[in-house]
Amino acid sequence: MSDISNTEGIPLYVKIRESLRQQIASGELERGQKLPSEDELATQFGVSRMTVRQGTSDLIDDGLLYRRHGVGTFVTLPHIERDHSRLTNFFENSDKHGIHAKATILEFEVIHATPMIAQALLLESDEFVIHIKSLRQADEVMVTLHDAYIPHRLFSEMIQEELHDFDVQHLWSKFEKNGYPVKRAVQKIEARLADQELAKVMQIQAGAPILFKERTVYAEDGTPVEFTYCYNRGDMYSLTVILNR
């Protein structure tokens, strides 16, 4: 960081703000990284602490930085905003917002449906389902644990694929190829706290806020094709819903 104390024209706090903004955009300051202290930044830029604070406050207002009281100022993690006025999946939504998304499959197996899963998918008690548990990341940060159950009798060929070849990003395309294009979903959303097991998998603190979703996805003909539990990081995930009257 350069000394900008003798620059003319544009206010110093604006120059500091735009210098930090550029470093965030270029990746020099990484998502989740802690900034140097205000005293250190003041020394590096050759300005007062108040000038530094004014510049960083603008970036906090813009959502690029956030402060943790008594800890410091950090670069904001990627934020997933889901528009729930239309049906999209995690990957479609991430692409729309310019976020690099990927998934790591943790479990891929055929199991007996629990009574709750069988009821949601309109299956016989103890019928087989394909269970796919995956960890979704946005810009290399873990965001969602996605726990999906799919009727085995409708999509049995899926389990024939090698795990390293299975593309969970295009799961709904696989449904469509089998004659079941996705049309709508019904979901329940609630606030929860991460337990020890979930916190370990998602690399967050136990007790951290979680936005939990329970969703059933239906094909065009009304057939339920997927029942899912989603555990989303509460500090990186928000919902937008359009309400009409």
Confidence of residue 126 (pLDDT cuts 50, 70, 90): confident
Give burial (CB, 10 Å; 0-12/13-18/19+) of 201.
middle
pLDDT average, residue stretch 58-71: 80
pLDDT average, residue stretch 21-49: 85
How far apart, in Å, are the Cα atoms of 81 and each of 84, 95, 105? 9, 12, 23
* Residue 146 confidence (pLDDT): 93
* Residue 1 confidence (pLDDT): 45
* Residue 60 confidence (pLDDT): 84
pLDDT average, residue stretch 89-96: 60
Least confident of 74-83, 105-114, 128-137: 74-83
Beta bridge partners of residue 201, listed in sequence order: none
Domains of the chain: 12-75 (1.10.10.10), 80-240 (3.40.1410.10)
Confidence of residue 179 (pLDDT cuts 50, 70, 90): very high
Which runs of consecutive H residues, i.e. helices, occur in the chain?
Answer: 12-26, 38-45, 49-61, 90-96, 115-120, 171-177, 196-202
Least confident of 80-89, 100-109, 191-200, 203-212: 80-89
Q: Under a CB-based contact definition with an 8 Å cutoff, are residues 219 and 175 in contact?
A: yes
Q: Which residues are CB-neighbours of 49 under 8 A, at least 6 positions away?
A: 38, 39, 42
Tally of residues, the chain: 245
Residue 85 or residue 205, greater confidence: 205
